[in-house]
Amino acid sequence: MSAAIAVGLGGLAGWRVLQRMEARHVETTAKDPLVQRATGYFRENLTAATSAEDLVGDYKMLQVALGAFGLDKDAANKAFIRKVLESDLADTASLANRLGDKRYLKLAKAFQGRSNAGAASQAIAEAYVQRQFEKRVGEGNETYRLALNARNEVKAFAARASSDRTMWFEVLGNEPLRTVFAGAFGLNKAVANLPVDRQLELFMSASERVLGSSSFSKIADEASIDKLVTRYLALSQVQANTSSNRYAAAMTLLSRQR
C-alpha cells in the first residue's frame, strides 16, 4: 500500500498547500522503488514490435499502460482491452471510437502511435507517475484527487481541434471528470438518468452561468480551470459539513431517546 499524501488541511486552504507541494510530491512518487521498477520495466519492454496480445499478456506492462490513463480497474478485462488496442482508429465505428469514455481512445492512440517506442514509453511512464501521485493524494482526500485530474484533463482540451459538443460528450462519459463539473455546477446525480442530449444542454447551460462560457477555448484557460476546481472543492466541503451536521444531529436525537 502506497503512503497517502496528506497536507494537514482541508477545503480550499489545503488545496492551495497541495498545489505548492505538488512538484516535490510528484518527484518523490517517481523515486518510489515500486514506481521506479514498474516504469523501468515498461520502458524496457515496450517496443515497436509489441502487440496488443503481448501487452495484455504481461501484467506488469498492462498495469502501467492502464494506470497512465486512470483505467486501473480494467486490468482483469484483458479481452476488452485488447480489442480497444487493436481498434481501427480511422473507423468511427470501431470500439475505441464508439466508447463514451475517451480515456480508452487515448490509450489506443498512445499504443498505436509509438513509431518512436522510446518516446512513447517515456510519455506513458510519466503519465503513470502523475496518476500514482494523484492516487496517493486521493488516499488522503478523494476530492483533491478528482480536482487534480480535472485540472489536467481540461487543460489538455485547450490544444484540441474537436468541437465543443464533442468535448462536452467526453466530459459526460468520463466519470471522474464529470464528477467535478457536476459538483461545481451543483447538478445532482439524477441528471445522469436523463437523455444524453438533455444532459449536454444542462452541462453547457451551467457552464455559461458558472464559468461564463461553454466553449473550451475559454474555459480551458488557467483562470477558468481554477474557478471550476475551487468551486467544486468549496461546494464539496459544504456538502460534507452539512452531512456531518445531519449525522451529529441524528446521533444527538438517538442519545436522547435512550
Q: What average pLDDT score do residues 17-25 get?
A: 94
| pLDDT for position 197 | 96
Does residue 1 carry a pLDDT above 70? no
Q: What average pLDDT score do residues 42-63 get?
A: 94
Q: Which of 5-14, 37-46, 107-116, 146-155 has the lowest mean pLDDT?
A: 5-14
Q: Is residue 1 part of a domain?
A: no
| pLDDT for position 53 | 96
| pLDDT for position 118 | 86
Q: Which domain holds residue 98?
A: 8-140
Which of the two residues, 116 and 219, has the higher pLDDT score? 219
Q: Please state, in angstroms and rounded to a whole number, the distance separating the CA atoms of residues 216 and 43.
A: 34
Q: Is residue 2 part of a domain?
A: no
Does residue 131 carry a pLDDT above 50? yes
Is 151 in the same domain as 134? no
C-beta separation of 111 from 65 below 8 A? yes
Number of other CB atoms surrounding residue 45 within 10 Å: 16
Is 27 in the same domain as 132? yes
What are the grid coordinates assigned to 4, written together? 497517502
Q: Please state, in angstroms and rounded to a whole number, the distance separating the CA atoms of residues 108 and 95.
A: 10
Q: Is residue 243 part of a domain?
A: yes
Q: Please state, in angstroms and rounded to a whole number, the distance separating the CA atoms of residues 117 and 54.
A: 15
| pLDDT for position 116 | 80
What are the grid coordinates assigned to 223, written together? 483562470
pLDDT digits (tens, 9 = 90+) for 160-172: 888 999 999 999 9
Q: How large is the angle between the packed helices 222-256 and 11-31, nearest 10 degrees? A: 110
Is 18 in the same domain as 38? yes
The pTM of this model reads 0.85
**Domain closes at, from 140, 160, 184:** 140
Is 72 in the same domain as 90? yes
pLDDT range class, residue 76, cuts 50, 70, 90: very high
Does residue 175 carry a pLDDT above 90? yes
Please choose, from the candidates 72, 101, 65, 94, the residue with its C-alpha nearest in 3D space to the C-alpha of residue 174.
101
Q: Is residue 3 part of a domain?
A: no
Average of per-residue pLDDT values in the chain: 90
Is 110 in the same domain as 90? yes
- Give the Cα-Cα-Cα angle 72, 74, 75 (nearest 5 degrees): 75
| pLDDT for position 251 | 35
Count of domains observed in the chain: 2
Is 125 in the same domain as 177? no
C-beta separation of 183 from 236 below 8 A? yes
Is 180 in the same domain as 115? no
